[in-house]
Structure 1
Amino acid sequence: MPAAPVILSLPIADRSVSYRFYRDGLGLDAVGEPADDGLPEPLQFVVNDGLRLMLVPTGGFGWVIGPREVAPAGRSECLLGLSADSTEEADAIVERARAAGGEVVTEPTSQPWGYSGVFADPDGHLWMVSTDPGL
């Protein structure tokens, strides 16, 4: 099997809003050729060498998942995770997400599993930022 990045696909309501959130809020770089709206199509971001995030408008997402329904806003089937090297970095990531239009669900605080906070992107997908429990 050839080496290729894993692609995590999420349904979105608005390409421009989601593009700005992931570019400005999470600092991710988009890849691909621009479509008529000036954004890459498909809308993909490089998370790291092995992972890309693809954002698919809800209607197009339905073509892929067939008769299954896209979860409505406020319902989550997965929690995406980001690692931070320090509590300060975790705080900064959550604040950037908030400033870019994300909703902070849980303010960063110390937990038994480390320092963490949770935010939702503009489409309600949840992201948990956490540090190692020893920090």
Structure 2
Amino acid sequence: MTYAPVTVSLPIADRVTAHRFYSDGLGLEAVGELADDGLPEPLQFVVNDGLRLMLIPTGGFGWVIGPHEVATRGQSECVLSLGVASPADADAIVERARAAGAEVLTEPTAQPWGYAGAFADPDGHLWMVSAE
């Protein structure tokens, strides 16, 4: 069985802020029909051919997860990782994210497993950027 694309859905507080961060900060392409606010609905970004990121206002998560509560900002159950070709690419992505409002948690540096840095998006979701 093949699953493509896989969609990762994250709760967000504000569509405009999230759109700006992921388009300007990470350079991802938004896809879909435009809603009244001028942004795609649902708000989805293409990460690569097999992966999409869907951003759902926190209140809208209820129809997906039922009675399970969405984690509050600053609490995360996963780290989303982006693999890049070089340390310079990792530096560039972390700097773009910082300029777009990310909180840089770990400056890019050599780690035992490679070169990596980590940041939290405006909603507190954790991202790691790494190069081998």
TM-score range, shorter chain: over 0.9
> What amino acid sits opposite 1:52 in the alignment?
R
Partner of 2:94: 94
Alignment partners' CA distance in 1, 2:3 and 2:102: 33
> Aligned runs of 1:32-43 on 2, under 5 Å?
32-43=32-43
- TM-score calculated relative to the size of structure 1: 0.95
Q: Percent identity?
A: 77
Q: Stretches of 4+ moved more than 4 A in 1?
A: none
> What amino acid sits opposite 2:29 in the alignment?
D
Partner of 1:124: 124
Cα deviation code 1:53-98 (max 9, x no counterpart): 0000000012211111100011110000001111111000000000
Partner of 2:84: 84
What is the number of equivalent residue pairs in this alignment? 132
Alignment partners' CA distance in 1, 2:38 and 2:128: 30
> What amino acid sits opposite 1:94 in the alignment?
V
Cα deviation code 1:28-51 (max 9, x no counterpart): 000000000000000000011111
Alignment partners' CA distance in 2, 1:9 and 1:30: 14
- TM-score calculated relative to the size of structure 2: 0.97
Alignment partners' CA distance in 2, 1:108 and 1:62: 36
Partner of 2:56: 56
Alignment partners' CA distance in 2, 1:35 and 1:2: 31
Instruction: Mark the runs of 5 or more structure 2 residues left unpaired by the alignment.
Output: none
Alignment partners' CA distance in 1, 2:110 and 2:47: 25
Give the superposition deviation at 1:4.
Answer: 3.2
